[in-house]
Amino acid sequence: MGFVSTASFPFSITITATTTMTSRKPRLLHHHNHHSSRLHFLSKCSLLPFQRKCRLNLRRSRRGNAACRVRCSLLKVEEDLDDEACELVRGSGVSIGEGDDRINAYLLKAVKNNNGIGILLLSDIFGFEDSSTRDFAYRVACNGYNVLVPDLFRGDPWTKDRPRAMLEQWITKQEPQRVRKDIDASIKWMVDEFLAAGISKKHGVIGFCFGGGRVIDVLSRDQGTCFGVGVSFLWHEDGPCFSLHH
């Protein structure tokens, strides 16, 4: 027994989430209508971007969908992608803020089919450098989006080799006000960066588990100022992995 929920939003993005009581994790199907516009912009970061063809990622995804796995669920973005429409994605590391307030982030930009929409991706407890999170962000960018993935844990994400008994202790170290401040700084950086580059003011936010809880907080405070849509993936079995104590 289960349910299917679908949400459609102003910037041509449809997300369908399906959950069943018997399955271990929900499944997500993400469909995107390709835009024909080409929009190029430069990042303010000093690191040289890399380029990777979308075809490489698609080959990985067909081998058991390993490339689509994010710790808190099984995820899919549209696999029937047009290689010519999604030829290149550029990724680069960026620094946000200064001094003790400086945080690292990862920015992926669609090159050929850029639709001008910015997506803030808030990771689960495994952090912004986790290969599954990076791969999902890449595949979203391959659909034409500009995706910013900030480091929510200041270089100290949860790792699989840690005893699970230490999880609660680790979570208590992720101070809610510090996390909120870092997310707000990431939002401001994304909005200012894209505005300076002449990109559309349309933005969305996606979060998984820990990051999913932050999506709710972000939208409650944003009230439509920056974000036109938010997608939060939370399941009760995730327990404390997405919660912050207030």
Per-residue b or e along 39-52, where b marks 16 or more CB atoms closer than 10 Å to that residue's CB: beeebebeeebeee
pTM: 0.67
Q: What is the CATH number of domain 2-241?
A: 3.40.50
Neighbours of 130 (CB within 10 A): 20
**Secondary structure class of 233 (helix, strand, coil):** strand
Find where tokens 């690191």 sit: 47
Helix residue ranges per DSSP H, 98-224: 131-142, 167-172, 176-196, 210-222
Closest to 208 (Cα-Cα) out of 49, 69, 84, 21: 69
Q: DSSP states of 10-54 as a string?
A: TTTEEEEEEEESSSSS-EEEEEEPPP--------S-SSPPEEEEH
Find where tokens 């208590």 sit: 172
- Rounded Cα distance between 73 and 39, Å, is 32
Instruction: Return the pLDDT at 111.
Output: 87
Classify residue 116 by its DSSP letter: S
Instruction: Return the pLDDT at 74.
Output: 38
Chunked mean pLDDT (size 10), the chain, 246 residues: 34 35 32 32 32 36 36 45 64 93 94 90 95 92 94 95 93 94 96 83 90 92 91 65 43
